[in-house]
Structure 1
């Protein structure tokens, strides 16, 4: 074969290969849903709540943005039919993650994060919020799911007042969690004082560590917790079932996990979504477990500080109050140019986690108490995308 024919053949081969790659690339983008409008991001717009006339719904629209376990958004709202200034928050028992959170402790922390966002939004919108926890009494712990349906977590009464600027308000519209690597820069003494200063409750405390001994110890607990969780198939399966692999699923469900959780954005997000949609095994079984462990390893290797939120007891009210405190903590961190990520696997209460759970409590609360949150803290190296949020009207219970 002559050189001319060889060159012509190679051109044809490369042209065909290039065309095939373009077809594959375009197909992956289409499977991902690149042209689908991301309705699941609408609630993050500052103007979103303004669509609603009822001030209670406007406040709930802000609460919807708060940090929550597994991004389940497990909130249900009942508007008082007789008093337009009262509404009730219920824990949505249909959104329990019973494998990873068998005693619904994280669920109660999540109720608190919501309530604090409502508080902060109230300042800005001109409503004083009075929160009464468990106005109809506490849960029947032996029939927890049923009790959640009939007993509200909180009664919220609002009173019209003059709007006042809350310094944390603008930071509610930023992603609450950043799972990327953090800078090695230590948290300053002034920043630590600001962060600890958000707590005014004598029954709770915030402890911040960045010395080598405690960093090594807490890194170890974070990795131990992640490794155990990755090896418990029923827990990993629970997470797998709420993973949304493409834009169509994200718009349909608007809660759970997605590739954005690892900071993937832009075209790479759509390529990843297309591949996972075509090959679900990429995000299940051993592949998912290995990815989770590696992600945690990257996190702990790039963490300059940890924070603990500790309560004197583990009552339902204390769990809720710790969530309220966490919202203030993460928003204050944003204000200081810092970000956070919970690494609380070691605090979960299923049987396989019993040993490290007991050990971390022995090390950090030897005189009693409960560690409600373990979070990494530092300056971000990269901004992360916002996560899915449901339409606020989906939280409002029917008549």
Structure 2
């Protein structure tokens, strides 16, 4: 009788444990957002831009999908009140990354990425797009943030035209950054030529490096600079402040970082988001720094090539132009079956990054050029999820 009682108690205990585990998993996945609608992905829907009759808003909705620093989406759109085919792009000074990007150079590159997506989309849906950079003059660098509010980055003028379908248009819907491992094979001669042909010979150049020596050199620079960033608390704190831990946060604040950016998807995404939501200490400063270093090392160890964008000068216009070329690079790479990931920490202009900045410019821009972007490039081994995007209406100011 005692044996039967023990067995019965064990069965009850096991059932209670399984029920508790099941309840915990339900709570965990719910906290991670498994049952929530991802409204932050609406702009990626191929019907989203078509909802707007105003061609300026429609094209801006395509621009919204462009690559941008820290996923801050720092764009402001102002519609011309007198001309229904003209609008202006402003940089949003409230979305500056003051610690990682104190000179606002990356912010200007990000303005260029938006403009090129608008140009590619315009051609495909039947508009010629004319872009004039800094139509009212460049910034007053002594009053930079205020100047951004009054000086547009670009004037965009549209004209109805016959659609010219471009294979790059479909690439707009492919995430611009893939942090996963790449295949070991090098770029083909045709792929290399297509990437290097993107540069503007007057000011902007694009280079591909895939010989062993340069891959090792650039990989070491990228790794060293990532470790410096991980150890620079104020820069990491800035990134932590825009980390969205779960679906609720991503829906409420549709910009910044999330686990998707690290390639996490599927049930693992909700599981990890649930853990971080319920146990925030798991996302401590040290854990974040360690994860960044580990993921960077893994990515760099599986990188067959690097691409670099340089400019003859470092003016605001040159920075914007380099962003336009960078967008064209990401779209071209996707069309060619390639993926890219920026590894540009060595190009950041805060004091702790001085040595890597000087080193990479000494080696790869010895004649006074400025390196605007450094990316790893190769054939991806995995696809990656799309990242948060704001509603385009939130970008429009009157």
Please tell me whether residue 296 in structure 1 is matched to residue 299 in structure 2: no
Structure 2 distance, partners of 1:345, 1:262, is 16
Pair 1:185–1:9, CA change in 2 (3 A) = farther
Would the aligned equivalents of 1:196 and 1:206 in 2 still touch at CA under 8 Å?
Answer: yes
Query: What residue number does 2:9 align with?
Result: 9
Q: Is the 1:240–1:284 Cα contact (8 Å) retained in structure 2?
A: no
Deviation at residue 144 of structure 1 after TM alignment: 0.5
Q: 1:79 matched to which residue of 2?
A: 79
Answering whether residue 145 of structure 2 is matched by residue 145 of structure 1, we say: yes
What residue is the counterpart of 2:353 in the other structure?
353
C-alpha displacement at 1:186, in angstroms? Answer: 1.3
Bigger Cα displacement from structure 2, 89-98 vs 264-273: 264-273
Q: Distance in 2 between matches of 1:201 and 1:67?
A: 23
Mapping for residues 1-399 of structure 1, pairs under 5 Å: 2-398=2-398
1:199: how far off?
A: 2.4
Shift of 1:211: 1.3
**SS of equivalent to 2:136:** coil
Q: Aligned Cα RMSD in Å?
A: 1.1
Task: For 1:80 and 1:202, locate their aligned partners in 2 and report how far apart those are by CA, in whole Å.
Answer: 31
Q: Residue by residue, what CA displacement relative to the aligned partner does 1:44-93 show, whole Å, maximum 9, x if unpaired?
A: 01110111110000000000000000000000000000110110000000
Quote the offset at 1:166 in angstroms: 1.4
Query: Could you say what secondary structure the match of 1:205 adopts?
Result: strand
Normalising by the residue count of structure 1, what TM-score does the alignment of the two structures yield?
A: 0.98
Report how far residue 250 of structure 1 moved: 0.5
The CA distance in 2 between the partners of 1:7 and 1:190, in whole Å, is 70
> Post-superposition shift, 1:3?
4.2
- Structure 2 unpaired stretches of 5+: none
For these two proteins, the number of residue pairs brought into alignment is 398
Contact 1:240 1:283 (8 Å CA) reproduced: no
- 8 A Cα contact 1:343 1:375, kept in partner: yes
Q: How big is the shift at 1:266?
A: 1.2
TM-score between both structures, scaled by the size of structure 2: 0.98
Tell me the distance in 2 between the aligned counterparts of 1:352 and 1:197: 34
Matched-pair contact (CA < 8 Å) for 2:198–2:205: no
Instruction: Find the aligned partners of 2:10 and 2:182 in 1 and give their Cα distance.
Output: 47
Shift of 1:187: 1.1
CA offset at residue 4 of structure 1? 3.5
Q: Is the contact made by 2:226 and 2:296 (CA closer than 8 Å) also made in structure 1?
A: yes
| Deviation, structure 1 residue 29 | 1.2
Q: Which runs of 5+ in 1 are unaligned?
A: none
Looking at structure 2, the residues matched to 142 and 279 of structure 1 have their Cα atoms a distance apart, in angstroms, of 44
| Counterpart Cα distance in 1 of 2:281 and 2:288 | 8
The 8 Å contact of residues 186 and 305 in structure 1, kept in 2 or not, is answered as yes
Q: Give the secondary structure class of the aligned counterpart of 2:167.
A: coil
